């Protein structure tokens, strides 16, 4: 299989990655099933990149039904250490406008029906990974600096509310999240960020703002048409940021993500069944023999 240190997860509107050379479509199978689609591996700015369209080509898979464990595991199996995810989002603040970008630094989890961990099966070891800072600070800074070199506004930091969907929020919910001081709302980035941390992969999100959700009194309420129109205008910018960031990543990782599992596995290693060890080998193999 080809290898890549950088993974890109494309959200709505971002189903292909232009500018890749030496491209191979790789079908990956994992102990958690098949990922959303074939992974496109190629070269960008001299670096190997693995690109995965989150919802599959043709946007077939809803946020709730995404095979997120397979997606993260598949990227890990290709050698990915850094994931830049691109997600569409609604603004919850007056000063964050449609077509702005936000590189969030916090998350509020309002999902209800998702698998959140690689360690949920009854035979899996009990694992508690630190998640106080859900996005990699190092990668977020690099992506922010790359974004600041492109045309248009970018906001550094902010809280991303992840809702279950597939319907958009009610006005009362939207106002509640505003009262919490949150910046943007969307339906992805979780459980991706949690699974990436468990897989010791650095993870950040470029939230592409498409609308003012439904709280804004002078703007129309959000529709799919509005989102797609603004997304397509944002996709080229997101691609340019990925190209710039790819060339700026350090060789060695010094952030906490790289060793997130080291002190997190509580279960006595000799009590982990062999089948669970085998299923989780790519994740825990370096700590559990
Ligand atoms: Zn990191």
Q: How far is the CA of 1 from the centre of ligand 1 (A)?
A: 24
8 A C-beta contact, residue 49 and residue 41: yes
Q: How far is the CA of 200 from the centre of ligand 1 (A)?
A: 8
Q: What is the pLDDT of residue 38?
A: 96
Which DSSP symbol is given to 181? T
Is 213 annotated as catalytic? yes
Q: Which domain holds residue 240?
A: 6-284
Residue 220: pLDDT above 80? no
Do the bridges between strand 47-53 and strand 39-44 make them parallel or antiparallel, or are there none, so unpaired? antiparallel
3-state secondary structure of 238: helix
**What average pLDDT does range 98-124 have in this prediction?**
96
Angle, in degrees to the nearest 10, between helices 224-246 and 137-148: 100
Higher per-residue pLDDT: 274 or 247: 274
- Does a structural domain hold residue 75? yes
Let me know the angle formed at the C-alpha of 274 by 270 and 279, rounded to the nearest 5 degrees. 120
Q: Per-residue confidence at 289, pLDDT binned at 50, 70, 90?
A: confident
Q: Per-residue confidence at 232, pLDDT binned at 50, 70, 90?
A: confident
Q: How far is the CA of 142 from the centre of ligand 1 (A)?
A: 11
Q: How far is the CA of 259 from the centre of ligand 1 (A)?
A: 9
Residue 128: pLDDT above 80? yes
- Does a structural domain hold residue 289? no
Q: What is the pLDDT of residue 218?
A: 74
Candidate list 29, 211, 225, 270, residue with the active-site label: 211
Model confidence pLDDT, tens digit, residues 165-178? 999 999 999 999 99
Q: What is the pLDDT of residue 129?
A: 97
Q: How far is the CA of 139 from the centre of ligand 1 (A)?
A: 6
Question: What CATH number does residue 261 fall under?
Answer: 3.40.50.1580
Buried b (16+ CB within 10 A) or exposed e, 251-260: eebeebbbeb
Q: How far is the CA of 253 from the centre of ligand 1 (A)?
A: 7
Is 211 annotated as catalytic? yes
Do the bridges between strand 184-186 and strand 154-156 make them parallel or antiparallel, or are there none, so unpaired? unpaired
Rounded Cα–Cα distance for residues 136 and 132 (Å): 11
Indicate the number of domains in the chain.
Answer: 1
Residue 209: pLDDT above 80? yes
Least confident segment among 41-55, 72-86, 106-120, 227-241:
227-241
- Does a structural domain hold residue 44? yes
Q: What is the pLDDT of residue 153?
A: 96
Rounded Cα–Cα distance for residues 179 and 244 (Å): 35
Q: How far is the CA of 173 from the centre of ligand 1 (A)?
A: 32
- Does a structural domain hold residue 215? yes
Distances (CA, A) of 101 to 92, 93, 118, 156: 13, 13, 30, 9
Rounded Cα–Cα distance for residues 124 and 114 (Å): 18
Rg (CA), the chain: 18
Residue 84: pLDDT above 90? yes
Closest CA to 242 of 115, 86, 96: 86
Q: How far is the CA of 205 from the centre of ligand 1 (A)?
A: 13
Q: Per-residue confidence at 267, pLDDT binned at 50, 70, 90?
A: very high
Q: How far apart are the first and last CA of the chain?
A: 25
**What average pLDDT does range 256-267 have in this prediction?**
96
**What average pLDDT does range 255-280 have in this prediction?**
97
- Does a structural domain hold residue 1? no
Q: What is the pLDDT of residue 51?
A: 95
Candidate list 22, 29, 213, 270, residue with the active-site label: 213
Q: How far is the CA of 5 from the centre of ligand 1 (A)?
A: 13
């Amino acid at each position: 299989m080809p290898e890549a240190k950088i993974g890109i997860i494309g959200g709505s509107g971002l189903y292909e990655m232009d500018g890749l050379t030496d491209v191979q479509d790789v079908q990956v199978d994992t102990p958690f099933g098949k990922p959303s689609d074939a992974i496109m591996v190629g070269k960008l700015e001299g670096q190997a990149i693995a690109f995965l369209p989150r919802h599959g080509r043709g946007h077939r898979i809803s946020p709730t039904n995404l095979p997120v464990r397979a997606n993260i595991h598949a990227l890990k199996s290709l050698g990915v250490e850094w994931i830049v995810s691109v997600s569409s989002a609604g603004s919850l603040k007056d000063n964050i406008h449609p077509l702005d970008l936000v590189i969030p630094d916090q998350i509020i989890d309002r999902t209800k029906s998702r698998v959140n961990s690689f360690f949920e099966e009854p035979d899996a070891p009990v694992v508690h990974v630190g998640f106080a800072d859900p996005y990699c600070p190092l990668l977020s800074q690099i992506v922010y600096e790359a974004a600041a070199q492109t045309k248009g506004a970018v906001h550094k930091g902010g809280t991303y509310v992840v809702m279950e969907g597939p319907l958009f929020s009610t006005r009362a919910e939207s106002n509640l999240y505003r009262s919490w001081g949150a910046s943007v709302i969307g339906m992805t980035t979780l459980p991706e960020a949690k699974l990436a941390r468990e897989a010791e992969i650095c993870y950040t999100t470029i939230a592409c703002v498409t609308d003012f959700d439904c709280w804004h009194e002078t703007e129309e309420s959000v529709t799919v048409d509005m989102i797609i129109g603004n997304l397509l205008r944002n996709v080229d910018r997101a691609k340019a940021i990925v190209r710039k960031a790819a060339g700026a990543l350090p060789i060695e990782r010094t952030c906490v993500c790289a060793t997130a599992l080291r002190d997190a596995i509580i279960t006595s290693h000799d009590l982990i069944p062999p089948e669970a060890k085998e299923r989780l080998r790519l994740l825990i193999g370096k700590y559990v023999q």
